[in-house]
A and B are shown apart, each in its own frame.
Chain A
Amino acid sequence: MRPLIPLLFCLTACINGGPRPTATPGSNTATSKATTTETYSGETAAEAIQVSFSEHPTVNVYLETSGSMNGYVDNGRSQFQQVVFDFLSNIKNSGLPSEMNLNYITDKVTPKESDVDPFINSLTSRGLLTAAGNKATTDIAALIADILPKTDGSTLSIFISDCIFSPGSVSNPEAYLENQKIAIRNAVKEYIDANGFVGCSVYQIYSQFKGSYFDYKNRRSTIDMQRPFYIWVFGSPVHIATIKSKVPDSKFMGSPVVNTWTIVDGDFSEFDGLNDYGLLQPSPTNGSYRWVSKTQVSNIKKSGEQFNFTFGVDMEYFLLLYGEDYAIDINNYKHLITKDTGEEFFGSFRKNMVTASPYTHDITVISNKPFAKGTFTVVFDGNVPNWVYECSDLDDSILNDSNCRKTYGFKYMCDGIYAGFHANNTSNITARYDFEIK
């Protein structure tokens, strides 16, 4: 296991000097590769934005305390409490935060104890009722818009919520959801523009919910069932990765992590050592071609029915950040045609079985027709994962088997965040693999 985290800290420390993309909309990462030296000093040619970054950020925890959250804290220790307690304690104990601030959030932020234990213990319904602000409805976009500006490289924000939109009595709930999505998008875009290197990560966890459930029309019902809640982490991808490293999914106590999604802004390819890739030697499994160099391939011939070539990628960081399933989901990869347009990428993943290899996975590029000479670029531009759509509901008036595990309108939240990273239809390339086909 390579010392990934120190590596990341080193490089991010250098981002201070000048990082990433400019503020102009539609622009992507600098197309020229960073002129990096051996020891990961990321000096790019792009304009320098002063970005604050701290190895030990301040961690602000925002626990949503609208009425719909009560059901999670039904006296005693619920699963919800256990998970949150465990998660926050682990973060605190990891040494990452310089300080940890625990807050309730509705339309206002109510600071609470800085100690996790009492913070959790006070999570009774009564405790929640003492949270200031409007607890009746949840304006998720407003929450996001509230939290994100407070987040940067030195401040990590953790948002815990059931993420249920409350259109309430609007005539057109879908229009409401759309607006929410747009508002979230704008908030995220501002968040990205203000900071150089940011990310959003979400955990979906289930907990027993016993209590009042308010549907999308704010109608109340009493339920006692497993219901999903979400822990969002906003901040520098380095910190997100640190958390994922120090508090892996497997360590979650109380209730397991069911799904995750992470989206970050920034091309890891610009940093040496983070996204090593290289063409592999030809073989019956890799394809029939000629290895010219790590990034040059020639004479691609038919291997079976198709034309293939295979390259290896060190996905250690990706796996950490995105989780294996998302990282090796072929749908998250695109074949880049121009700077911003791509087409579907045909390929397949497999684990790299060679012990000495610097790569963790092999990606085989597949084509039915011969490859055209010139550059061929595969990029990682993650989509909103399927589970988001599967867990998104448009009618939660009745919770039964088909939708008891869904969250009303959840996809709008994720779509909004996604749109923020893809403002004006630009791509959000996190990794690129360039090849020259001769």
Chain B
Amino acid sequence: MEDFFSLFYRNNLYGEQLYYHLRGWDDAQNGFVAAADKFPTIFCVAFGTAVLLFLAYYYIFNHPRWNRWYHWIIPLLMTMATSFILGYVIVTTDLSAGVIAQSLEPYIGVGNAIMFGIYNAVLGGLFFFIMSLLLRSWSKNCKHSPWPLLATKLNNKGKQDHE
């Protein structure tokens, strides 16, 4: 199960060693400790935030005066900001608490924390974006936010113009 969450983070964009740390690398075990795996939490919060904000924008708030593309940007940015803060804080907390494995510690710094925050922000934003693409068509007022549904466009293309 842990492998599923870490799949989203399995890359070298924010520091290979930081990946190992967040996955729960333990020097004494020379391996990953499931209990220390932070990716499930990080993923769930990022994804969960995206889901919540998606639902809030499209189905709870669902406001007819908030269906322009620049209104849509707001929950997107909120998702990204939350994800960034989450990622950044987790890493910097570990850094200052000194709980990073000795073998990884020299390679992890605040720069990595920032990069991870950015990566997580992009990931959260991506979740929000994909949900916006796929699941918005039932929204009464915001279904065409940020741009009209493809289905509607195709449907309308086929219609004859009445004069």
Contact = CB atoms under 8 A, between A and B. Distances in A.
Interface of A: 278-284, 288, 291, 293-294, 312, 353-359
Most chain A CB atoms below 10 A, which of B20, B25, B30, B107: B30
A425 B26 CA distance: 42
A21 B103 CA distance: 38
A354 B31 contact: no
A356 B27 contact: yes
A391 B27 CA distance: 43
B104 interface: yes
A281 B103 contact: yes
Given A280-B103, A283-B103, A284-B107, A357 B30 contact: yes
B102 A281 contact: no
Given A283-B107, A355-B102, A357-B103, A312 B31 contact: no
Contacts of B102: 353-357
A279 B30 CA distance: 8
Contacts of B2: none
Given A281-B103, A294-B31, 13 more contacts: A278-B31, A280-B30, A281-B25, A281-B104, A283-B17, A283-B104, A284-B107, A294-B30, A354-B101, A355-B27, A356-B101, A357-B30, A357-B103
Interface in B79-110: 101-104, 106-107
B16 A278 contact: no
Nearest to B26: A356
A385 to B, nearest CB: 30
Given A354-B101, A356-B102, A312 B17 contact: no
A354 B107 contact: no
B103 A278 contact: no
B17 A281 contact: yes
Q: Which 3 A-B pairs have the closest CB atoms?
A: A356-B27, A278-B30, A356-B28
Contacts of A294: 30-31
B81 to A, nearest CB: 31
6 contacts: A280-B30, A280-B103, A282-B16, A283-B16, A283-B106, A356-B27
Nearest to A277: B30
A149 B107 CA distance: 57
Which size class do B's interface residues fall under? 10 to 19
A294 B106 CA distance: 22
Contacts of B27: 354-357
B31 A293 contact: yes
A32 to B, nearest CB: 23
A357 B25 CA distance: 11
B28 A281 contact: no
Most chain A CB atoms below 10 A, which of B16, B17, B29, B104: B16
Interface in B1-32: 16-17, 20, 25-31
B78 to A, nearest CB: 34
Nearest to B27: A356
Contacts of A280: 30, 103
A290 to B, nearest CB: 8
Contact of A358 (B25, B30, B106): B30
A280 B25 CA distance: 10
Nearest to B103: A354
Nearest to A353: B102
Given A281-B104, A354-B101, A354-B102, A312 B30 contact: yes
Contacts of B31: 278, 291, 293-294
Nearest to B16: A282
A288 B15 CA distance: 12
A296 to B, nearest CB: 11
A279 B20 CA distance: 13
A148 B58 CA distance: 87
A312 B103 CA distance: 12
B9 to A, nearest CB: 13
Nearest to B20: A281
